[in-house]
Amino acid sequence: MVNYEKSCGAVVYRKFHGNTEILLVRHVKSGYWSFPKGHTEDGESEAETAIREIKEETGIEVYVDTGFRETVTYSPRRDTSKTVVYFIARAKTRELIPQSEEISDIRWVEIDKAASHLTYDNDKLIVSKAKSFIALMKL
């Protein structure tokens, strides 16, 4: 029997001194760098899950753009299929407060340098797509 899990998160960005930076988190359990995300709760939309999880994991509030929606599906365990939905989100607040139980480190990284920090090829592809999407936005 296969268990199905769903998480939602976002590529969170900000403009800083003329550069686009994205927020990366290092997970306590795996040590991997990725984007803030977490499991959906009953009655939540995908965007609501992303907003809540970003706030819980990083302490910042965001505006989510659901016009960008990318999914990744993988098997974290032999009997489990997990789908993660990623949006683009613009940071509304600045103070980073990592959720110590889940996040060991958190940092803003220039979008062009993000791929060198990310562990998974799927995440690197999402950054590439996010960069193109953000470039088309009127900021």
Per-residue confidence at 138, pLDDT binned at 50, 70, 90?
A: low
Per the prediction, the chain carries an average pLDDT of 93
Tokens coding 82: 């997990």
pTM over 0.75: yes
Per-residue confidence at 1, pLDDT binned at 50, 70, 90?
A: confident
**Do the Cβ atoms of 35 and 87 come closer than 8 Å?**
no
**Do the Cβ atoms of 112 and 128 come closer than 8 Å?**
no
* pLDDT for the residue numbered 2: 86
Give tens-digit pLDDT for 80-116.
999 999 999 999 998 899 999 999 999 999 999 999 9
Tokens coding 109: 């990284």
